[in-house]
Amino acid sequence: MAEAIVRTRFAPSPTGIMHIGNLRSALYEYLIARVAGGHFILRIEDTDRERLVEGAVEAIYKTLRTCGIHHDEGPDIGGPSAPYVQSERLPIYRRYANDLVKQGDAYPCFCSIERLASLHEEQSGDDFIGYDRHCREIDPAEAAARIEKGEQYVIRQKMPLLGETSFSDAVYGTITVDNKTLEDQVLIKSDGYPTYNFANVVDDHLMGITHVVRGSEYLSSTPKYNLLYETFGWEIPVYVHLPLIVGEDGRKLSKRHGATSFDELIEAGYLPEAIINMIAFLGWSPGNTTRENFTLEELESAFTISGISKAPAVFSYKKLDWMNEQYIKNMPEDTWIAMVKEKADTLFKDQPYDAAMLARVLKERTTRLSDIPDTIAFMVETPTYARDLFKLKRAKLNAEKAADILAALIPDMEALQSWDEASIHDLLEQTIATQNRKKGEIMGAVRLALSGRTVTPGGAIELAVILGRDVSLSHMKNALDFLNETDVTSE
Ligand code: GLU
């Protein structure tokens, strides 16, 4: 028999923002499909009406698009298994639930919320077994009559009372549970909506999903899903459960550790490419290499199910910092300039600046995009000076020398035909020679005059180019005035 075409799905519930764990599921599902030349499907699981969050579906689309995780079928593009939104498939679930009732594998349950609540309280010991199967033995004719009369009910799955259920997971191996521990779970709720547990299985079957990939928090429910497949006589998919994501302290990743959603990571200044690369390694490794930088495109051929580990995956912000730096360093010039401009424009406002030079200076020095405004804030401020600032021991510079240097340099710089890197460089080199100064003195004096700082991103020449002729000369004159005014008193 020919191998079935691999079909995976991302099945988010639109209940809020996209967490790192959700995005990892989406990524792995996408990659498993791509590696095999299969199909990746987006399905919206919106049956829990109380937990729906407005805008959540749009956020899912946006995140997937930003990350380059493109689906082949989904609510927005359709496909052979449409509709792809569960709330539009209610008659389907109803039909399958009724089939189960007819064949004696499910039953209507009329227990009130109050009864279930008191049951829950009574059972709060070690051996909680959930619903006590109170309605399981109601005669089908009686049940039908009660439904006819309009009594509220849910439909529950009949779990086997004896024996064990086993299933095999591609990551966690064979898992066996005692059937006694399985609750007769609700398949259809009293509002007519299916539970996640039921709709998910029905849809995975009807949509031809071959690999069910999701977080390990679903592992304990999988025996119940497996029993549904068996009851219907459907082919069981390959289960791929993904390890827990923890912080560096080994505890489940949470707000306490830092940003935990895609949007928060973007907000914190990380690039989508770096986030995706980082997330790819949350539970997966390529095996034959220690290399950790993989673009999405590279992952699309390198990813393997066998490389997924069940050991908890550690989310390290330090590692993400490092990855982000790598992506910034390797980014095409134009893309980087545009990104820097986006941050810098709001800061520089009407003050002209050289974006290309600023981007060049920041490229090797930026960890997170969100650091940029702070790093460059001084460039839009008028520097303030102190005489002591000009004492650079290593360069043997002091305030008097700095004043001499600036006094000689300002007219020459004013006379420069063109204010560019090469011209400024040549002029400063010339000054070093003609004034018989050390390079450190000249560069130090100019840098201090332009910034009021001894340490800056970029040196004297870069700063002069970034700030442009007018601002640079104005700062240099201010510095000279300051040094002249304070001349006698403090040396
Ligand atoms: N709707 C479930 C969730 O958002 C899907 C879990 C699954 O992939 O089966 O977690």
Question: Ligand 1 centre from 317 Cα, in Å?
Answer: 26
Residue nearest to atom 9 of ligand 1 (CA): 214
Ligand 1 within 6 A of CB of 12:
yes
Q: Of the residues 25, 201, 214, 241, which should be mutated to test ligand 1's pocket, given the most ligand atoms within 8 Å of the CB?
A: 214
**pTM for this structure?**
0.92
Q: What does the pLDDT read at residue 488?
A: 57
Q: Which residues contact 466 (CB under 8 A, 6 or more apart)?
A: 353, 354, 357, 358, 361, 379, 458
Ligand 1 within 6 A of CB of 11:
yes
pLDDT cut 90: percent of the chain above it: 91
Q: What does the pLDDT read at residue 1?
A: 52
Q: What does the pLDDT read at residue 490?
A: 47
Ligand 1 within 6 A of CB of 462:
no
Residues of the chain with pLDDT below 70 are 1-3, 124-129, 487-491
Ligand 1 within 6 A of CB of 214:
yes
Known catalytic residues? Answer: 255
Q: Of the residues 13, 18, 28, which should be mutated to test ligand 1's pocket, given the most ligand atoms within 8 Å of the CB?
A: 13
Which residue is it, tokens 């209940």?
15
Ligand 1 within 6 A of CB of 75:
no
CATH number of 333-490: 1.10.10.350
Q: What does the pLDDT read at residue 125?
A: 61
Domain boundaries, the chain: 333-490
Q: What does the pLDDT read at residue 305?
A: 98
Question: Ligand 1 centre from 10 Cα, in Å?
Answer: 8
